[in-house]
Amino acid sequence: MDFTVCPLSGGVGVEVLGLDPDNAISEASARALRDLWLDAGVILFRGIGTSPEALLNISRCLGDLEPHPIEHFRLPGYPELILLSNEKTLTGPVYEFDGVATYGRIPWHTDLAFTTTPNAGAVLRMVRNSEHGGQTGWIDTALAYDALDAATQKHIEGLEARYIFCPDLSAMRFNTPGGKLLKSSIKGLPTFPPVAHPLVWVHPETGRRILNISTLNIQCIEGMPQAESDALIEKLVAHTLQPRFQYIHLWENNDVVAWDNRRTMHMAFGHPVDETRIVQRSTIRGTVKMGRVIETCEEQTA
């Protein structure tokens, strides 16, 4: 194995030291990286993401990569990578928080929580960080589930939660960050039907139980009166957002972080809209279906 491992502060995630992704990664090291990714949920590589090729070499150790379906978001020349940048144009909303016009803030969520096949994970490379803000955080939702009392674990087993596509923050019902909308998202975004996901999900590869909450997308508990549903979700969100389950990364250029999307939530803290931030990202293809689409007639009578 061509690297060593040390835990990150706070008990969530690990840091990998000594890996050289500019050269071919051995099969043994690739298998060890994937095992570590499944075991830890979040992996940090400091300062080694010096090129798109390095990002791809790390990413391919974790699984098959999924190109973004909209070509506009792909990094030119690298169809398996996404370019996220505000250098030339804005594709997301701008909000005012505490008097600062802020771009790129996305509250705690799991990717594609509004579909029935969330991606397995992702790998992010910091190309150019903003001067202020720009942090990314992760929550280990397996640890959050383990820390629930037995009565709550029993109570939520078998429950389904409803999730919707939320391109900006206006549709959030829980853990809303506030802020004043200054500029909306780009038009022409796809629409998605609401989905019902298990509130407790069993990880398809590790068998660990996950507290399956995406605060950006969750709306209610299916079949439960609204007051009871809201109280339960608020209790679970408050539990899950405790700092003991979080790792917040202060980016340096060329840092790389890989995460298991099935066992974590993440949050982009955002940065001043007039400061440039450029990142590249790969997506690990999801292959395991979760939950179900809520049909139109069910939506109307719920």
| Per-residue pLDDT reduced to its tens digit, 235-250 | 999 999 999 999 999 9
Region 2-19 average pLDDT? 93
Q: Model confidence over 248-267: pLDDT tens digits?
A: 999 999 999 999 999 999 99
Task: Calculate the dihedral angle through the C-alpha atoms of 7, 106, 275, 183, rounding to the nearest 10 degrees.
Answer: 180
pLDDT (average), residues 119-125 = 97
Residue 217 has pLDDT above 50, yes or no: yes
Q: Are 53 and 78 in contact (CB under 8 A)?
A: no
Q: Which two tokens stand for residue 112?
A: 């594609």
What is the arithmetic mean of pLDDT over 182-204? 89
Query: What is the structure's pLDDT at 90?
Result: 87
Range 216-229 average pLDDT:
97
Asked whether residue 135 carries a pLDDT value surpassing 70, the answer given is: yes
- Out of 4-13, 68-77, 226-235, pick the least confident: 68-77
Question: Is the model more confident about 162 or about 192?
Answer: 162
Do 137 and 129 form a contact (C-beta atoms < 8 A)?
no
**Residue 59 sits in which domain range?**
4-301
From residue 129, how far is each of 61, 122, 132, 249 by CA, in Å?
Answer: 25, 19, 8, 12
Q: For residue 89, what is the domain's CATH number?
A: 3.60.130.10
CA angle 143, 211, 201 (to 5 degrees): 115
- Per the structure, the count of domains in the chain is 1
CA distances from 221 to 115, 171, 215, 241, 274 (A): 17, 16, 13, 19, 40
- Model confidence at 186, pLDDT cuts 50, 70, 90, reads low
Mean pLDDT of 61-90: 90
Q: What are phi and psi of 6, to 5 degrees?
A: -140, 150
Q: What pLDDT is attached to residue 220?
A: 97
Residue 181 has pLDDT above 70, yes or no: yes
Strand order, beta sheet including 264-272: 180-183, 94-97, 100-109, 264-272, 136-140, 246-249
Check residue 14 and give its pLDDT. 98
Q: What is the mean pLDDT of residues 180-203?
A: 88
Q: Which residues pair with 162 in a beta bridge?
A: 196, 220
- Phi then psi for residue 129, to 5 deg, are -85, 150
Tell me: pLDDT of 68 over 90: no
